[in-house]
Structure 1
Amino acid sequence: MATRSDSIPTEPARGPDASPFRRALATLAVITGGCAALMFAGFLHFVQLVPGAEQSTPAAGDGIVALTGGAERLSDALRLLASGRGKRLLISGVHPETTERELARAQPDYAAFARCCVDLGRRALNTAGNAVETRRWAVGHGFRSLIVVTSGYHMPRTMMELAREMPNVELIPYAVVTDRLKGEHWWRDLDTARLLAGEYVKYVAALVRVRLAPRLAKAPVGAETVQGPAEPAARS
Protein backbone atom coordinates (compact mmCIF):
# COMPACT_ATOMS: atom_id res chain seq x y z
CA MET A 1 0.00 0.00 0.00
CA ALA A 2 1.46 3.36 -1.01
CA THR A 3 2.29 5.83 1.72
CA ARG A 4 1.31 9.47 1.50
CA SER A 5 4.30 11.75 1.28
CA ASP A 6 2.51 14.52 3.14
CA SER A 7 2.08 12.32 6.19
CA ILE A 8 5.69 12.93 7.20
CA PRO A 9 6.24 16.50 8.51
CA THR A 10 9.19 18.28 7.02
CA GLU A 11 10.96 21.49 8.10
CA PRO A 12 10.97 24.43 5.71
CA ALA A 13 14.26 25.20 4.08
CA ARG A 14 16.36 27.70 6.06
CA GLY A 15 18.36 30.52 4.61
CA PRO A 16 21.46 31.93 6.22
CA ASP A 17 21.02 32.36 9.97
CA ALA A 18 20.28 36.07 10.55
CA SER A 19 19.78 35.88 14.32
CA PRO A 20 23.30 37.12 15.31
CA PHE A 21 22.85 40.17 13.07
CA ARG A 22 19.41 40.84 14.51
CA ARG A 23 20.73 40.50 18.04
CA ALA A 24 23.52 42.95 17.25
CA LEU A 25 21.00 45.45 15.86
CA ALA A 26 18.80 45.05 18.92
CA THR A 27 21.77 45.55 21.23
CA LEU A 28 22.84 48.64 19.31
CA ALA A 29 19.32 50.03 19.50
CA VAL A 30 19.19 49.48 23.26
CA ILE A 31 22.59 51.13 23.77
CA THR A 32 21.67 54.08 21.55
CA GLY A 33 18.34 54.55 23.29
CA GLY A 34 19.97 54.30 26.70
CA CYS A 35 22.59 56.90 25.79
CA ALA A 36 19.92 59.22 24.39
CA ALA A 37 17.82 58.84 27.54
CA LEU A 38 20.86 59.47 29.72
CA MET A 39 21.81 62.59 27.77
CA PHE A 40 18.24 63.91 27.93
CA ALA A 41 18.05 63.26 31.67
CA GLY A 42 21.36 65.06 32.06
CA PHE A 43 20.05 67.97 30.02
CA LEU A 44 16.97 68.26 32.23
CA HIS A 45 19.21 68.26 35.30
CA PHE A 46 21.39 70.93 33.68
CA VAL A 47 18.34 73.11 33.00
CA GLN A 48 17.42 72.87 36.68
CA LEU A 49 20.82 74.36 37.53
CA VAL A 50 20.12 77.45 35.40
CA PRO A 51 18.36 80.15 37.47
CA GLY A 52 15.24 81.67 35.97
CA ALA A 53 14.77 84.60 38.35
CA GLU A 54 16.81 87.52 39.62
CA GLN A 55 19.40 86.54 42.21
CA SER A 56 19.48 87.96 45.71
CA THR A 57 22.50 90.03 46.71
CA PRO A 58 25.33 87.61 47.50
CA ALA A 59 27.50 87.53 50.58
CA ALA A 60 30.65 89.62 50.41
CA GLY A 61 33.83 88.10 49.00
CA ASP A 62 37.44 89.20 48.84
CA GLY A 63 37.10 89.89 45.12
CA ILE A 64 34.65 89.88 42.23
CA VAL A 65 35.20 88.38 38.79
CA ALA A 66 32.95 89.14 35.82
CA LEU A 67 33.24 87.10 32.63
CA THR A 68 32.70 89.10 29.46
CA GLY A 69 29.85 88.20 27.14
CA GLY A 70 27.01 90.54 28.03
CA ALA A 71 26.54 94.14 29.16
CA GLU A 72 24.45 93.07 32.16
CA ARG A 73 27.35 91.05 33.57
CA LEU A 74 29.60 94.10 33.79
CA SER A 75 26.91 96.43 35.13
CA ASP A 76 25.94 93.94 37.85
CA ALA A 77 29.58 93.36 38.78
CA LEU A 78 30.19 97.12 39.07
CA ARG A 79 27.09 97.46 41.22
CA LEU A 80 28.39 94.74 43.55
CA LEU A 81 31.77 96.48 43.71
CA ALA A 82 30.10 99.82 44.51
CA SER A 83 28.14 98.21 47.35
CA GLY A 84 31.34 96.93 48.95
CA ARG A 85 30.79 93.25 48.15
CA GLY A 86 34.40 92.90 47.05
CA LYS A 87 37.71 94.76 47.27
CA ARG A 88 38.55 94.54 43.57
CA LEU A 89 36.90 93.50 40.32
CA LEU A 90 38.46 91.45 37.54
CA ILE A 91 36.83 91.69 34.12
CA SER A 92 38.08 88.52 32.45
CA GLY A 93 38.16 87.98 28.70
CA VAL A 94 38.32 91.62 27.58
CA HIS A 95 39.14 91.92 23.89
CA PRO A 96 42.73 93.13 23.39
CA GLU A 97 41.56 96.06 21.27
CA THR A 98 38.88 97.25 23.69
CA THR A 99 39.97 100.47 25.41
CA GLU A 100 39.06 101.74 28.84
CA ARG A 101 37.38 104.71 27.19
CA GLU A 102 35.06 102.34 25.33
CA LEU A 103 34.26 100.53 28.56
CA ALA A 104 33.52 103.84 30.27
CA ARG A 105 31.16 104.83 27.45
CA ALA A 106 29.35 101.51 27.66
CA GLN A 107 29.26 101.50 31.48
CA PRO A 108 29.05 104.97 33.07
CA ASP A 109 29.90 103.52 36.50
CA TYR A 110 33.16 102.06 35.19
CA ALA A 111 35.16 105.30 35.28
CA ALA A 112 34.56 105.80 39.00
CA PHE A 113 36.36 102.55 39.82
CA ALA A 114 38.75 102.14 36.90
CA ARG A 115 41.80 103.64 38.60
CA CYS A 116 41.40 102.10 42.04
CA CYS A 117 39.63 98.80 41.93
CA VAL A 118 39.22 97.29 38.45
CA ASP A 119 41.62 95.01 36.58
CA LEU A 120 41.22 93.94 32.96
CA GLY A 121 42.11 90.42 31.90
CA ARG A 122 42.80 90.29 28.17
CA ARG A 123 44.31 86.85 27.65
CA ALA A 124 41.35 84.50 28.14
CA LEU A 125 39.76 83.19 24.95
CA ASN A 126 37.23 80.79 26.50
CA THR A 127 35.83 79.70 29.85
CA ALA A 128 38.84 77.53 30.68
CA GLY A 129 41.04 80.55 29.95
CA ASN A 130 38.84 82.70 32.20
CA ALA A 131 39.46 80.23 35.01
CA VAL A 132 43.25 80.36 34.56
CA GLU A 133 43.20 84.15 34.34
CA THR A 134 41.04 84.38 37.46
CA ARG A 135 43.27 82.02 39.43
CA ARG A 136 46.36 84.08 38.67
CA TRP A 137 44.58 87.26 39.64
CA ALA A 138 43.24 85.78 42.88
CA VAL A 139 46.62 84.36 43.86
CA GLY A 140 48.31 87.65 43.07
CA HIS A 141 45.98 89.50 45.45
CA GLY A 142 45.78 86.75 48.08
CA PHE A 143 42.02 86.40 47.71
CA ARG A 144 40.34 83.41 49.33
CA SER A 145 36.76 84.07 48.23
CA LEU A 146 35.32 85.35 44.95
CA ILE A 147 31.91 86.45 43.74
CA VAL A 148 31.47 85.02 40.21
CA VAL A 149 29.33 87.07 37.81
CA THR A 150 28.21 85.54 34.52
CA SER A 151 25.02 84.58 32.71
CA GLY A 152 22.81 82.00 34.37
CA TYR A 153 23.11 79.44 31.56
CA HIS A 154 26.91 79.86 31.65
CA MET A 155 27.24 79.56 35.44
CA PRO A 156 27.40 75.72 35.80
CA ARG A 157 30.35 75.43 33.40
CA THR A 158 32.04 78.51 34.85
CA MET A 159 31.84 77.22 38.41
CA MET A 160 33.22 73.84 37.34
CA GLU A 161 36.19 75.41 35.53
CA LEU A 162 36.93 77.80 38.40
CA ALA A 163 36.68 75.05 41.02
CA ARG A 164 39.15 73.00 39.00
CA GLU A 165 41.66 75.84 39.01
CA MET A 166 41.00 77.06 42.55
CA PRO A 167 39.82 74.17 44.74
CA ASN A 168 40.71 76.08 47.92
CA VAL A 169 38.95 79.35 47.03
CA GLU A 170 35.33 79.92 48.03
CA LEU A 171 33.27 80.64 44.93
CA ILE A 172 30.04 82.61 45.35
CA PRO A 173 27.86 82.49 42.21
CA TYR A 174 25.88 85.52 41.13
CA ALA A 175 24.01 84.64 37.96
CA VAL A 176 22.76 87.26 35.54
CA VAL A 177 19.39 86.10 34.22
CA THR A 178 18.79 87.04 30.59
CA ASP A 179 15.37 88.29 29.50
CA ARG A 180 14.64 85.17 27.48
CA LEU A 181 14.94 82.99 30.59
CA LYS A 182 12.90 85.16 32.94
CA GLY A 183 9.63 83.44 33.70
CA GLU A 184 9.50 81.65 30.34
CA HIS A 185 9.47 77.93 29.65
CA TRP A 186 12.55 77.18 27.58
CA TRP A 187 10.76 74.58 25.44
CA ARG A 188 8.35 77.21 24.12
CA ASP A 189 11.10 79.22 22.44
CA LEU A 190 13.32 77.56 19.84
CA ASP A 191 16.19 80.02 20.25
CA THR A 192 16.24 79.52 24.02
CA ALA A 193 16.16 75.74 23.61
CA ARG A 194 19.07 75.92 21.18
CA LEU A 195 21.01 78.16 23.56
CA LEU A 196 20.55 75.76 26.47
CA ALA A 197 21.28 72.68 24.34
CA GLY A 198 24.47 74.22 23.00
CA GLU A 199 25.63 75.21 26.47
CA TYR A 200 24.79 71.73 27.76
CA VAL A 201 27.01 70.14 25.09
CA LYS A 202 29.85 72.47 26.13
CA TYR A 203 29.20 71.62 29.77
CA VAL A 204 29.40 67.88 29.12
CA ALA A 205 32.61 68.30 27.09
CA ALA A 206 34.15 70.38 29.89
CA LEU A 207 33.01 67.83 32.47
CA VAL A 208 34.72 65.00 30.58
CA ARG A 209 37.91 67.05 30.21
CA VAL A 210 37.93 68.02 33.89
CA ARG A 211 37.44 64.41 34.95
CA LEU A 212 40.11 63.05 32.62
CA ALA A 213 42.67 65.85 32.95
CA PRO A 214 43.21 67.08 36.52
CA ARG A 215 44.71 70.54 36.80
CA LEU A 216 48.50 70.66 36.51
CA ALA A 217 50.68 73.07 38.47
CA LYS A 218 50.83 76.42 36.78
CA ALA A 219 53.61 79.00 36.64
CA PRO A 220 53.57 81.92 39.13
CA VAL A 221 51.45 84.93 38.39
CA GLY A 222 52.87 87.11 35.64
CA ALA A 223 52.59 90.88 35.60
CA GLU A 224 51.15 90.72 32.09
CA THR A 225 48.16 88.61 33.11
CA VAL A 226 45.83 91.49 33.98
CA GLN A 227 45.84 95.20 33.38
CA GLY A 228 45.22 97.33 36.41
CA PRO A 229 46.34 100.54 38.04
CA ALA A 230 50.00 100.85 38.86
CA GLU A 231 50.91 99.82 42.38
CA PRO A 232 54.35 101.10 43.37
CA ALA A 233 54.88 98.41 45.98
CA ALA A 234 54.41 95.68 43.40
CA ARG A 235 56.42 97.13 40.56
CA SER A 236 60.12 97.79 40.12
Structure 2
Amino acid sequence: MRLYLSQLTLNPASPMVQSEFENPYEMHRTIMRGFPCKRDAANVLYRLESNPHSGSVTLLVQSTVEPQWEPLTEVGQGQYLFSPPAWKAVDLDLQQKQTLRFRLVANTSVKKDGKRHALFDEEAQRHWLETKGTGCIEKKRPSHGFEVLDMDIQKGNNQQGHIHRDENEKHTVTIYRVQFDGILQVTNPATFLAAIQAGIGSGKAFGFG
Protein backbone atom coordinates (compact mmCIF):
# COMPACT_ATOMS: atom_id res chain seq x y z
CA MET A 1 0.00 0.00 0.00
CA ARG A 2 1.33 3.42 -0.95
CA LEU A 3 0.88 6.38 1.39
CA TYR A 4 1.93 9.99 1.03
CA LEU A 5 3.36 11.53 4.19
CA SER A 6 3.60 15.31 4.36
CA GLN A 7 5.25 17.65 6.83
CA LEU A 8 3.94 21.21 6.93
CA THR A 9 5.69 23.64 9.26
CA LEU A 10 3.16 26.30 10.21
CA ASN A 11 3.86 29.91 11.06
CA PRO A 12 2.64 30.33 14.68
CA ALA A 13 2.56 34.12 14.23
CA SER A 14 0.03 33.87 11.40
CA PRO A 15 -3.48 35.07 12.43
CA MET A 16 -4.94 32.32 10.25
CA VAL A 17 -2.91 29.62 12.03
CA GLN A 18 -3.83 31.03 15.45
CA SER A 19 -7.50 31.01 14.47
CA GLU A 20 -7.27 27.38 13.33
CA PHE A 21 -5.72 26.35 16.66
CA GLU A 22 -9.08 27.33 18.16
CA ASN A 23 -11.10 25.55 15.48
CA PRO A 24 -9.39 22.42 14.08
CA TYR A 25 -12.17 21.88 11.53
CA GLU A 26 -11.03 25.05 9.75
CA MET A 27 -7.52 23.58 9.66
CA HIS A 28 -9.04 20.50 8.05
CA ARG A 29 -10.63 22.70 5.38
CA THR A 30 -7.29 24.38 4.72
CA ILE A 31 -5.53 21.01 4.40
CA MET A 32 -8.12 19.83 1.88
CA ARG A 33 -7.07 22.62 -0.48
CA GLY A 34 -4.11 20.37 -1.24
CA PHE A 35 -6.31 17.59 -2.63
CA PRO A 36 -8.63 17.35 -5.66
CA CYS A 37 -11.23 15.26 -3.81
CA LYS A 38 -13.00 14.90 -0.46
CA ARG A 39 -11.25 13.64 2.69
CA ASP A 40 -12.74 10.15 2.55
CA ALA A 41 -11.68 9.65 -1.08
CA ALA A 42 -8.08 10.66 -0.34
CA ASN A 43 -8.04 9.01 3.12
CA VAL A 44 -6.61 12.20 4.62
CA LEU A 45 -5.52 12.02 8.25
CA TYR A 46 -3.56 14.70 10.08
CA ARG A 47 -1.97 15.42 13.43
CA LEU A 48 -0.74 18.71 14.86
CA GLU A 49 2.47 18.58 16.89
CA SER A 50 3.98 21.46 18.88
CA ASN A 51 7.50 21.70 20.26
CA PRO A 52 7.35 23.62 23.57
CA HIS A 53 11.12 24.25 23.50
CA SER A 54 11.51 25.65 19.98
CA GLY A 55 7.96 26.93 19.59
CA SER A 56 7.67 25.21 16.20
CA VAL A 57 4.31 23.86 15.04
CA THR A 58 4.24 20.96 12.59
CA LEU A 59 1.28 19.53 10.73
CA LEU A 60 1.74 15.86 9.76
CA VAL A 61 -0.58 14.76 6.97
CA GLN A 62 -1.15 11.23 5.64
CA SER A 63 -3.06 10.45 2.44
CA THR A 64 -3.48 7.87 -0.31
CA VAL A 65 -3.63 10.61 -2.96
CA GLU A 66 -0.56 12.63 -3.90
CA PRO A 67 -0.90 16.12 -2.37
CA GLN A 68 -0.49 19.40 -4.20
CA TRP A 69 0.52 21.92 -1.55
CA GLU A 70 0.96 24.98 -3.77
CA PRO A 71 -2.40 26.49 -2.67
CA LEU A 72 -1.22 26.52 0.96
CA THR A 73 1.75 28.71 0.07
CA GLU A 74 -0.73 31.46 -0.86
CA VAL A 75 -3.30 31.31 1.95
CA GLY A 76 -3.14 33.64 4.94
CA GLN A 77 -1.53 36.34 2.78
CA GLY A 78 1.29 33.91 2.06
CA GLN A 79 2.16 33.68 5.78
CA TYR A 80 0.45 30.37 6.67
CA LEU A 81 3.54 28.20 6.21
CA PHE A 82 6.85 28.91 7.95
CA SER A 83 8.84 26.91 5.39
CA PRO A 84 8.17 25.09 2.07
CA PRO A 85 6.05 21.93 2.42
CA ALA A 86 7.80 18.55 2.30
CA TRP A 87 6.32 15.17 1.43
CA LYS A 88 7.33 11.67 0.38
CA ALA A 89 5.72 8.47 -0.88
CA VAL A 90 6.02 5.40 1.35
CA ASP A 91 5.18 1.82 0.35
CA LEU A 92 4.07 -0.16 3.40
CA ASP A 93 4.59 -3.92 3.52
CA LEU A 94 3.82 -5.34 6.95
CA GLN A 95 4.51 -8.84 8.24
CA GLN A 96 2.69 -11.10 10.68
CA LYS A 97 3.99 -10.62 14.27
CA GLN A 98 6.00 -7.54 13.25
CA THR A 99 6.42 -5.11 16.15
CA LEU A 100 6.09 -1.37 15.60
CA ARG A 101 6.26 1.79 17.66
CA PHE A 102 3.16 3.94 17.33
CA ARG A 103 1.62 7.26 18.22
CA LEU A 104 -2.12 7.77 17.98
CA VAL A 105 -4.06 10.91 18.84
CA ALA A 106 -7.60 9.71 19.31
CA ASN A 107 -11.09 10.63 20.39
CA THR A 108 -11.69 7.91 22.99
CA SER A 109 -15.45 7.62 22.96
CA VAL A 110 -18.30 5.16 22.62
CA LYS A 111 -21.67 5.57 21.01
CA LYS A 112 -24.68 5.02 23.26
CA ASP A 113 -28.33 5.90 22.66
CA GLY A 114 -27.37 7.62 19.42
CA LYS A 115 -24.88 9.94 21.13
CA ARG A 116 -21.11 9.79 21.49
CA HIS A 117 -19.76 9.75 25.06
CA ALA A 118 -16.11 10.46 25.93
CA LEU A 119 -14.10 8.00 28.03
CA PHE A 120 -12.15 9.89 30.72
CA ASP A 121 -10.96 6.98 32.89
CA GLU A 122 -7.48 5.72 31.95
CA GLU A 123 -8.42 2.04 32.26
CA ALA A 124 -11.38 2.63 29.95
CA GLN A 125 -9.08 4.39 27.49
CA ARG A 126 -6.63 1.47 27.57
CA HIS A 127 -9.46 -0.99 27.01
CA TRP A 128 -10.76 1.19 24.14
CA LEU A 129 -7.47 0.95 22.24
CA GLU A 130 -6.90 -2.72 23.05
CA THR A 131 -10.37 -3.53 21.75
CA LYS A 132 -9.71 -1.52 18.58
CA GLY A 133 -6.77 -3.84 17.95
CA THR A 134 -8.20 -7.23 18.86
CA GLY A 135 -11.90 -6.61 18.30
CA CYS A 136 -14.75 -7.76 20.53
CA ILE A 137 -17.02 -10.60 19.39
CA GLU A 138 -19.49 -9.96 22.22
CA LYS A 139 -20.09 -6.37 21.11
CA LYS A 140 -19.64 -7.16 17.39
CA ARG A 141 -16.62 -4.88 17.06
CA PRO A 142 -14.18 -5.96 14.33
CA SER A 143 -10.44 -6.40 14.84
CA HIS A 144 -8.08 -3.83 13.31
CA GLY A 145 -5.30 -6.40 13.04
CA PHE A 146 -3.00 -5.52 15.92
CA GLU A 147 -2.29 -6.22 19.59
CA VAL A 148 -1.01 -3.50 21.92
CA LEU A 149 2.07 -4.69 23.83
CA ASP A 150 2.80 -1.49 25.71
CA MET A 151 1.26 1.97 25.86
CA ASP A 152 1.62 5.32 27.55
CA ILE A 153 -1.34 7.69 27.77
CA GLN A 154 -1.20 11.47 27.75
CA LYS A 155 -4.59 12.97 28.48
CA GLY A 156 -5.51 16.17 26.76
CA ASN A 157 -8.31 18.69 26.92
CA ASN A 158 -11.72 19.00 25.38
CA GLN A 159 -11.38 20.38 21.86
CA GLN A 160 -14.18 22.37 20.28
CA GLY A 161 -14.81 22.99 16.63
CA HIS A 162 -17.53 24.41 14.45
CA ILE A 163 -18.91 22.64 11.39
CA HIS A 164 -20.77 24.80 8.89
CA ARG A 165 -23.42 22.59 7.34
CA ASP A 166 -24.59 25.52 5.24
CA GLU A 167 -24.32 29.31 5.29
CA ASN A 168 -26.92 29.68 8.04
CA GLU A 169 -26.22 26.67 10.27
CA LYS A 170 -23.17 26.24 12.52
CA HIS A 171 -22.84 23.05 14.56
CA THR A 172 -20.49 22.99 17.59
CA VAL A 173 -18.65 19.73 18.28
CA THR A 174 -16.70 18.91 21.47
CA ILE A 175 -14.09 16.14 21.31
CA TYR A 176 -11.83 14.78 24.05
CA ARG A 177 -8.17 14.41 23.00
CA VAL A 178 -5.98 11.51 24.16
CA GLN A 179 -2.49 10.65 22.89
CA PHE A 180 -1.29 7.03 22.94
CA ASP A 181 2.40 6.15 22.52
CA GLY A 182 3.61 2.57 22.63
CA ILE A 183 4.49 -0.68 20.92
CA LEU A 184 2.14 -2.98 19.02
CA GLN A 185 2.36 -6.29 17.22
CA VAL A 186 0.74 -6.91 13.85
CA THR A 187 -1.71 -9.84 13.99
CA ASN A 188 -3.28 -9.41 10.54
CA PRO A 189 -1.22 -7.35 8.04
CA ALA A 190 -4.04 -6.71 5.55
CA THR A 191 -6.51 -5.63 8.23
CA PHE A 192 -3.96 -3.42 9.96
CA LEU A 193 -2.98 -1.76 6.67
CA ALA A 194 -6.65 -0.93 6.12
CA ALA A 195 -6.79 0.60 9.63
CA ILE A 196 -3.67 2.68 8.97
CA GLN A 197 -5.23 3.96 5.76
CA ALA A 198 -8.68 4.75 7.18
CA GLY A 199 -7.66 5.81 10.69
CA ILE A 200 -8.92 4.65 14.08
CA GLY A 201 -11.86 6.12 15.96
CA SER A 202 -13.95 9.20 15.23
CA GLY A 203 -13.15 12.89 14.75
CA LYS A 204 -10.80 12.50 11.79
CA ALA A 205 -11.72 15.92 10.40
CA PHE A 206 -10.51 17.39 13.72
CA GLY A 207 -7.04 15.80 13.62
CA PHE A 208 -7.81 12.46 15.29
CA GLY A 209 -7.35 8.87 14.15
TM range (shorter): under 0.3
Between structures 1 and 2, the one with greater helix share: 1
Taking structure 2 as the reference length, the TM-score comes to: 0.26
Between structures 1 and 2, the one with greater strand share: 2
Question: Which of the pair has the greater relative contact order for Cα pairs under 8 Å at 6+ separation?
Answer: 2
